[in-house]
Amino acid sequence: MPSLARVISTHLFICLAFWPLFSAADSFVSQIRQANVIYTGSHFHIQTQIDYQLSPTAKEALHKGIPLTWRVRIQIRKIGKLWDSTLSEQSLPYRLRFHALLNQYEVLKPDKENEMFLTLNAALGFMSSLQDSNPVSADLLRSNQRYKLAIKCQFDRESLPVPLRPFAYLDSQWFLSSDWYLWPIQK
């Protein structure tokens, strides 16, 4: 019994120790290239540039008619002594879909409007610029307080077909979300 426990614990330790290496072997995560906060006196307008990447599996799924959805999450966080608190959050969903008949790519924007593109790059390029984001009211922020703008482009695995979801959590081909990107902002 002790020897079995030792073997299991050893294997578990090896898996956990080398997990980052396995997961980072082929990285297809999105990246937030830049973010601009434009203060207009009453509101903060946020602009970002996102680089979407598709893994071969994701690309194949897209061309097989499976729509892919990303959610651009934008948060304004108040910097605290121990932890940060979220003042406002908005989630902007972008859905990319391939129309086999028309051989075009459709992007469904957060405002539910769709755009058709002849190429995948055109569709991804369209998605890279943040659109339809709500400006953040300046009243939320105080002048003597420090804040952070946090942006993350999160791939929505739950929008995938049910049979694909468990594997999307385990397969690095489906690790398409970006990390949180943080920028300090001040009123």
87 binding another protein? (CB under 8 A) = no
Among 10, 167, 179, 184, binds another protein (CB under 8 A): 167
Please report whether residue 129 would count as binding another protein according to CB under 8 A: no
CB of 30 to another protein, least distance (A): 21
Stretch that binds another protein, among 11-19, 64-72, 74-82, 143-151 (CB under 8 A): 64-72
Q: How far is the CB of 147 from another protein (least distance, A)?
A: 33
SS (H, E, C) the chain: CHHHHHHHHHHHHHHHHHHHHHHCCCCCCCEEEEEEEEECCCEEEEEEEEECCCCHHHHHHHHCCCCEEEEEEEEEEECCCCCCEEEEEEEEEEEEEEECCCCEEEEECCCCCEEEECCHHHHHHHHHECCCCCCEEHHHCCCCCCEEEEEEEEECHHHCCHHHHHHHCCCHHHCCCCCCEEEEECC
Using the rule CB under 8 A, is 103 a contact of another protein? yes
Q: Which residue of 158, 179, 184, 186 would you call a contact of another protein, by CB under 8 A?
A: 158
Residues forming the site for another protein (CB under 8 A): 1, 60-61, 63-66, 99-104, 114-118, 122, 126, 157-158, 161-167, 169
